[in-house]
């Protein structure tokens, strides 16, 4: 079960993804940004807020832990792929730059959310260690 604050956060993100979908499926001439700077700044603020609750990272971590955190990590990789496809589409279509920024920040946001879930469940990050030969 997700804590109420995280559940509300993810519901808000789902609503914003519908707005993003509208931007991508029906682009404007650039005068209307359905994905706003405020939405992007809100993601950045939430990343900063949640990050203060976590141990600083000096290594990469392996995705995993609690099943919900693992699902969030998988979602993060899907968002990264969506970001790549959106950048590619922007080469031939009019795509709001805010859509690309939002997807970029969303993947970072999801990374922090997955770490928060694991921390609240008492699951430590598993550090990735290079296989030096």
Indicate the pTM of the whole model: 0.89
* Mean pLDDT for back-to-back runs of 10 residues, the chain (133 residues): 88 95 78 86 96 89 91 96 95 90 97 95 85 72
Provide the terminal-to-terminal Cα distance of the chain, rounded to the nearest Å.
42
* Per-residue pLDDT at 35: 92
How far is it, in rounded angstroms, from Cα 58 to Cα 25? 39
How far is it, in rounded angstroms, from Cα 90 to Cα 103? 13
């Amino acid at each position: 079960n997700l804590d109420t604050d995280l559940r509300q956060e993810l519901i808000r993100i789902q609503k914003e993804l519908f707005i993003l979908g509208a931007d991508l499926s029906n682009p404007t001439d650039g005068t209307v940004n359905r994905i706003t700077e405020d939405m992007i700044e809100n993601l950045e603020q939430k990343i900063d807020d949640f990050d203060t609750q976590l141990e600083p990272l000096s290594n990469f971590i392996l995705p995993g832990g609690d099943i919900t955190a693992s699902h969030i990590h998988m979602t993060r990789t899907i968002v990264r792929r969506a970001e790549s496809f959106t950048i590619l589409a922007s080469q031939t279509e009019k795509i709001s730059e805010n859509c690309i920024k939002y997807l970029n920040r969303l993947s970072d946001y999801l990374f922090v959310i997955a770490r928060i879930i694991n921390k609240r469940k008492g699951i430590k990050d598993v550090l990735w260690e290079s296989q030096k030969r």
